[in-house]
Amino acid sequence: MATNKLIRKNLIHFVPFLLYLVFISIPVLVSAIKGNFIFEYLRWLSNHTYLMVIFRGLLLVGYILYCLHLFKQYVALIKTNYSSLTNYDFLWIRRLLFGSLIIISLDIFSELYEMVFGYLGWDAGYITVISMVILIAYLGYHGANQSKILLPSFLLLDNGNLSGDVKRQKVIMASTFSNEEIQLLEEKLQYILKEEKPYLDEDLTLNKLAKLLEVTDKKLSAFLNQYLQTTFYDLINKERVAVVKEKLQSSNFNKFTLLGIAYESGFKSKTSFNRIFKKETGLSPSEYRKQYM
């Protein structure tokens, strides 16, 4: 039952293949049949080969755009459940999709150009081939460290709601923590945040914080998500904002710039600082500061 549901859910990924099979591959395979519609259709195709290339390209472009849509949802979901992953971890897949989209678009453009203005005088297909070689070389070189983004299927959402698999996974996670472990981990986390202030490190990661707590990063991520109802980044950013607010309320920091205070509080860039601060307080840093000057 689960297998059949999985197959039905992913049938859309076979649409480009089926369309090409019906309109191109099957007619070619039966090309020996003469004097009928298929033969005439093949003869028409042979005189309009550029249409085959454009048709194939448009199918691939449509499919890649659909993949980009799925990828956007996937990234948002993964970041929520595995907050140790950053934008860099998704760079390889993003470039795979956009690189493929650019190459196919170039192929379509060259065919359309020749269809309208005539032969270029040289084989435009070389551009496509060279672009593919460059993309494959790049992906092969930089793809070795990307295996950690291939996460299990239980993280997938179904129409914006948690699927049954996700709910079952939550139960499994819950069973890995005893009440004593939950209390101990929460107390230890609060102690480390208060005394060691690891959030002041702009390069703090989930893995670094997990080492301070002497647990695995996956266990810490599950604890934050399931028991504290937060993520690593939300937790750390909340602590950083609290530090900034405290400094902005103090006259001792009146001579400090907002950016200087942000860097001292663990923020890594001006853009992220402004965005996160306003999200937490509803005010921009400068607006918040004016209240205490």
Over residues 248-282, the pLDDT tens digits come to 998 888 888 999 999 999 998 888 899 899 988 99
- Bridge pairing between strands 161-162 and 157-158: antiparallel
**CA-to-CA separations, 202 to 151, 181, 198, in angstroms, rounded:** 27, 29, 9
**DSSP element (H, E) containing 187:** helix 179-195
Who has greater pLDDT, 34 or 139? 139
CB 181 within 8 A of CB 156: no
> pLDDT by residue (tens digit) across 61-110?
888 888 888 888 777 766 555 544 555 557 778 888 888 888 888 877 77
Task: Determine the Cα–Cα distance for residues 161 and 66; give it in Å rounded to an integer.
Answer: 20
> pLDDT by residue (tens digit) across 145-196?
554 454 444 444 444 444 444 444 444 444 456 778 888 889 999 999 999 9
CB 168 within 8 A of CB 175: no
Please report the pLDDT score of residue 81 as a whole number: 53
Please report the pLDDT score of residue 243 as a whole number: 94
Structure token pair of residue 70? 């799925």
Single-letter residue type at 225: N
Confidence of residue 35 (pLDDT cuts 50, 70, 90): very low
Q: What is the pTM assigned to this prediction? A: 0.45
Q: What mean pLDDT is reported for the chain?
A: 75
- Close Cβ partners of 89 (under 8 Å, ≥ 6 residues apart): 146, 148, 149
The rounded radius of gyration (Å) of the Cα atoms in the chain is 27
Task: Determine the Cα–Cα distance for residues 199 and 209; give it in Å rounded to an integer.
Answer: 9
